[in-house]
Amino acid sequence: MLSNRGVDMKEAAVGEFIEKVESVYEVDYGDFKRKLSLYIATLEESLGQSSHAVISKMKKRAIYTSDGDIENTRHAVLDLVKEI
């Protein structure tokens, strides 16, 4: 079970991730994907193994099996992060 401090750190990491994903605007999907990949990696580093399954889903959706649509990907990743 996470302590209050652990929960606060988790909420802060997720909140920062959401803010970054909502504010990144790129015309080219490749540029968007590179930034999103960095944000996912930073979130993964902050959370450790506790959220590995969700992080894996996010990577798969955003990086490996993307449809190339920035807004669809943004919404899918933001929906997935709610599972953390």
Question: pLDDT by residue (tens digit) across 9-31?
Answer: 899 999 999 999 999 999 999 99
Mean pLDDT over 42-70 rounds to 92
When divided into structural domains, the chain yields a total of: 1
Contact criterion met (CB below 8 Å) for 58 and 40 = yes
Range of the domain at 29: 4-81
Q: What is the pTM of this model?
A: 0.88
SS3 27: coil
